[in-house]
């Protein structure tokens, strides 16, 4: 199995403070990788660097052996689809029009939508359960429907790599399960490489082959969920004590807040 990503000695900052410092990571083709860590650890910035939306101050990013900085946005889009944490659509596009935008990288000439494009977009909307709202504008949708529309656009892109930043944000439990079931199907049955940023340690632990725990802009721990999600690592990185047992079906580590912490969280709300 080859590598689809190589990040070598990456350092990145927006202003004075370094977000990532001397950061290196390899992602194998067909891997389901979870990026976890507290707010400010550099997860979203890392995903944007992998998507070519940001350029590192130092170091380099390679995609399938080619330096990412040398590729055009269209070339990157043929390989990589991105689901950002938040999406703003400035014009009143319908859901169907938005999802069809995922086909742009595969179109030539004037970029008219072919029957194949329309069929692929329809399948993507079906998978995300948004066909009933296909003719509504993006602005008319609920937060969950917007999120599923953005994921459908990424699916319509039919890229070999999916980069997702908190894909289950704003979604109810049922659709959270649907999203991860779909991602697992794409990964296991179609060989799509999935890299997902998640604040939900239990979802990440249950579905990802490997987790990378970020701390202060560096890799603190990397490995299978059992190696990464431990009371000691959580205490060091997140600064709190948790109870960890096994998920009754998956057998993966399951994180639970002690009652004292749950009570403190309720008070803060």
pTM here is 0.89
- Whether the CB-CB separation of 146 and 138 falls below 8 Å is answered with yes
Per-residue pLDDT of 15-74, as tens digits, reads 888 999 999 999 999 999 999 999 989 999 999 999 999 999 999 999 999 999 999 999
Per-residue pLDDT of 134-177, as tens digits, reads 999 998 988 888 888 999 999 999 999 999 999 988 888 988 88
Q: Band of the pLDDT at 6, cuts 50, 70, 90?
A: very high
Examine the pLDDT at 223 and tell me if it is beyond 90. Answer: yes
Q: 217 phi and psi, to 5 degrees?
A: 80, 10
Percentage of residues in the chain with pLDDT exceeding 90? 70
Q: Band of the pLDDT at 262, cuts 50, 70, 90?
A: low
Q: Band of the pLDDT at 265, cuts 50, 70, 90?
A: low
- Whether the CB-CB separation of 204 and 228 falls below 8 Å is answered with no
The rounded distance, in Å, linking the Cα atoms of 83 and 266 is 31
The enclosing H or E element of 193 equals: strand 193-197
Residue 238: its pLDDT value, please? 94
Residue 260: its pLDDT value, please? 52
Residue 266: its pLDDT value, please? 47
Closest-CA residue to 205 (of 89, 34, 59, 57): 34
Query: What angle in degrees, to the nearest 10, is found between the helix axes of 115-127 and 143-156?
Result: 140
The rounded distance, in Å, linking the Cα atoms of 66 and 59 is 14
Q: Is residue 91 classed as helix, strand or coil in its secondary structure?
A: coil
On average, the pLDDT of the chain sits at 90
Examine the pLDDT at 133 and tell me if it is beyond 90. Answer: yes
Q: Band of the pLDDT at 267, cuts 50, 70, 90?
A: very low
Residue 169: its pLDDT value, please? 81
Examine the pLDDT at 240 and tell me if it is beyond 50. Answer: yes
Residue 91: its pLDDT value, please? 81
């Amino acid at each position: 199995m080859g590598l689809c990503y190589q990040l070598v000695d990456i350092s990145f900052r927006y202003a004075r403070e370094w977000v990532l410092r001397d950061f290196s990571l390899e992602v194998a083709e067909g891997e389901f990788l979870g990026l976890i860590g507290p707010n400010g650890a550099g997860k979203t910035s890392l995903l944007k660097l992998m998507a070519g939306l940001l350029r590192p101050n130092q170091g380099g990013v390679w995609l399938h052996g080619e330096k990412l900085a040398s590729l055009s946005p269209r070339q990157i889009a043929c390989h990589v689809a991105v689901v950002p944490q938040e999406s703003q659509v400035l014009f009143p596009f319908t859901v169907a029009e938005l999802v069809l935008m995922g086909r742009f990288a595969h179109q030539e000439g004037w970029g008219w939508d072919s029957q194949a494009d329309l069929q692929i977009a329809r399948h993507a909307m079906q998978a995300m359960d948004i066909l009933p709202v296909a003719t509504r504008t993006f602005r008319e949708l609920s937060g969950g429907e917007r999120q599923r529309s953005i994921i459908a656009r990424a699916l319509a892109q039919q890229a070999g790599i999916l980069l997702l930043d908190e894909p289950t944000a704003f979604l109810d439990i049922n659709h959270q399960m649907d999203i991860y079931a779909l991602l697992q199907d794409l990964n296991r049955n179609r060989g799509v490489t999935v890299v997902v940023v998640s604040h939900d340690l239990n979802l990440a632990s249950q579905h990802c082959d490997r987790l990378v725990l970020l701390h202060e802009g560096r890799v603190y721990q990397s490995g299978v969920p059992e190696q990464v999600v431990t009371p000691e690592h959580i205490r060091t990185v997140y600064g709190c004590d948790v109870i960890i047992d096994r998920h009754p079906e998956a057998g993966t580590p399951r994180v639970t807040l002690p009652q004292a912490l749950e009570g403190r969280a309720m008070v803060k709300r």
